[in-house]
Amino acid sequence: MAYESKILGVGSFVPAKAYTNFDLEKMLDTSDEWIQQRTGIIKRHWVEGNVSNTDLAVEACKEAMEKAKVSHDDIDMIIFATLSPDHDFPGNACFLQEKLNIPAGIAALDIRQQCTGFVYGLSIADQFIKSGQYKNILLVGSEVHSKGLDRTPEGRNVSVLFGDGAGAAVIGRSDGESKVFGSLLHADGRFAKELWVAAPGTGNEEGERISTNMLDKKLHYPYMNGRQVFTHAVKRMAESLSTLMASHKMSIDDVDLFLFHQANIRINDKVAEILEIDSSKVFNTIADYGNTTAATIPIGMNDALKAGKLERGMVVGIAAFGAGFTWGSNIIVY
């Protein structure tokens, strides 16, 4: 028997402490004007002390499960999208399972598509629900970027962009109008080193995973070719979404709300311009959180619900782009 899948409930969480652009001016040789003009970011939240990625995820998941009216006993799979896991291995899905007291024996999967993680995860969850193999899948995107950023003037081009946070959704069987309509997933590994962290890793020229030389060269911090990312993000997000809409014989007018990955307000404005989407239909959160990578879409979804901009029955177009390069889109009836 074939099933349709739908989002049963959504949750999100960001750490309490917010850093405004003015706070960053004191540590990074930057300015509120530079950051706002180029990115649209006003503040971002960063964890304190020993708070981990899965600590944030736990809070987002609890809210999502409560809203979905499912208990920890009902979850039969976890899909965890992150680029900033608690530890190199095992994956965050296992640590999260233990923290949420989800019974032994379920499937736990970590995926690594960076900013496109939630879009990939939603498609994977949809396939598992459609096949009938699983009934309630906990999909989470969570990041603690702050512990992996070069928060000195040398790292300012990247560090001002990223925030910590988590967003989660429970995906289950649809019993009516709400459903995941379709998804498109893409990648182009020729650009893998245009946005990446080299170390630790077994692919380094030195033949070591990590060394003091690598630390001295700051290879454990992200490198980004900002202009390449910008150009490709605009092109690919617009392309994926329009192809997906066309394959379902939908036009922009059929979509009630657009949730785009939150990397840069100018990227999203350009995508909207290319697709001729009225800006009132695009829900952005970047001003408040910065770029939380795999968490931007579910955080945006939850904020849109709380703001009354998203309701059951609305058609939502989702698109994201990230390191890899990876990109993709989903259309859902919420």
**Chain position carrying tokens 């994977």:** 124
Q: CA quadruple 149, 152, 155, 156: dihedral positive or negative?
A: positive
Q: Which residues pair with 169 in a beta bridge?
A: 10, 139
Determine, following the binding rule CB under 6 A, whether residue 286 of this chain makes contact with ligand ACO. no
Question: How many binding residues for ligand ACO (CB under 6 A)?
Answer: 22
Q: Looking at 30, 97, 240, 242, which residue binds ligand ACO (CB under 6 A)? A: 30
Pinpoint the alpha helices (H) of the chain.
Answer: 21-28, 32-39, 53-68, 92-99, 117-130, 156-159, 212-216, 226-247, 265-275, 286-289, 296-306
Helix (H) or strand (E) holding 224: strand 223-224
Contact characters 189-208, ligand ACO, x per CB under 6 A: ------x-------------
Which positions are catalytic? 115, 261, 291
Determine, following the binding rule CB under 6 A, whether residue 263 of this chain makes contact with ligand ACO. yes
Given the complex with ligand ACO, which of 157 and 211 has the nearer CB atom?
Answer: 157
Contact characters 60-99, ligand ACO, x per CB under 6 A: ----------------------------------------
Q: Are 117 and 321 in contact (CB under 8 A)?
A: no
Determine, following the binding rule CB under 6 A, whether residue 227 of this chain makes contact with ligand ACO. yes
Question: How far apart are alpha carbons 240 and 184 in whole angstroms?
Answer: 7
> What residue type is 180 in one-letter code?
V
Given the complex with ligand ACO, which of 182 and 226 has the nearer CB atom?
Answer: 226
Report, in Å, the least distance between residue 82 CB and ligand ACO.
14
Determine, following the binding rule CB under 6 A, whether residue 322 of this chain makes contact with ligand ACO. yes
Question: How far apart are alpha carbons 146 and 15 in whole angstroms?
Answer: 11
Determine, following the binding rule CB under 6 A, whether residue 115 of this chain makes contact with ligand ACO. yes
SS3 156: helix
Report, in Å, the least distance between residue 37 CB and ligand ACO.
9
Given the complex with ligand ACO, which of 38 and 147 has the nearer CB atom?
Answer: 38
Determine, following the binding rule CB under 6 A, whether residue 264 of this chain makes contact with ligand ACO. yes
Q: Which residue sits closest to ligand ACO, CB atoms considered?
A: 226
Distance of CA 55 to the CA centre of its chain: 17
Provide DSSP, 237-295.
HHHHHHHHHHHTT--GGG-SEEEE--S-HHHHHHHHHHHT--GGGB---HHHH-B-GGG
Report, in Å, the least distance between residue 29 CB and ligand ACO.
7
Q: Looking at 5, 12, 39, 53, which residue binds ligand ACO (CB under 6 A)? A: 39
Report, in Å, the least distance between residue 89 CB and ligand ACO.
24
In 144-212, at which residue ranges do the beta strands (DSSP E only) sit? 165-173, 179-187, 195-196
Given the complex with ligand ACO, which of 151 and 156 has the nearer CB atom?
Answer: 156
Determine, following the binding rule CB under 6 A, whether residue 226 of this chain makes contact with ligand ACO. yes
Enumerate residues 134-173 that contact ligand ACO by CB under 6 A.
Answer: 156-157, 160-161
Q: Are 24 and 151 in contact (CB under 8 A)?
A: no
Given the complex with ligand ACO, which of 70 and 115 has the nearer CB atom?
Answer: 115
Chain positions contacting ligand ACO, by CB under 6 A = 30-31, 34, 38-39, 115, 156-157, 160-161, 195, 224, 226-227, 229-230, 233, 263-264, 291, 321-322
